[in-house]
Amino acid sequence: MPRWIALFTDAPEMLEIRQQHGNAHLAYLDANRDKILIGGGLRPEPGMPFVGGLWVLDVESREEAVMLVESDPYYRPEFRRYELLVWGKAINRPVTL
């Protein structure tokens, strides 16, 4: 099964959405932990506001990845864009974060 990367780019308005829907977003990630393997927010520098995010997905198809992304409580198409890419893993060793 391919692994997909969801790369999110946020408009500044997403900061308020993050504050309002943070708990629902984390619950969504936990409920889908078998498909959303790892994820987190992206910042230009430590301590700066989030400007996007990244997920690694273990799903069968692009359609399933789209469904996961667009069902997330954070998803607001007017404030959050995303790109889906198939991940071609070059290093195959266990990683603990």
How confident is the chain (97 residues) per 10-residue block, as mean pLDDT? 93 94 97 96 96 96 98 96 90 72
End-to-end CA distance of the chain: 23
Domain boundaries, the chain: 3-49+59-87
Q: Which fold has domain 3-49+59-87?
A: Alpha-Beta Plaits (3.30.70)
- The pLDDT score that the predictor gives to residue 16 is 93
- The pLDDT score that the predictor gives to residue 96 is 73
- The pLDDT score that the predictor gives to residue 4 is 96
- The pLDDT score that the predictor gives to residue 55 is 98
Task: Specify the amino acid at residue 14.
Answer: M
Is 4 in contact with 65 (CB distance < 8 Å)?
A: yes
- The pLDDT score that the predictor gives to residue 63 is 98
* Beta-bridge mates of residue 80: 10
Q: How far is CA 9 from the centre of its chain?
A: 10
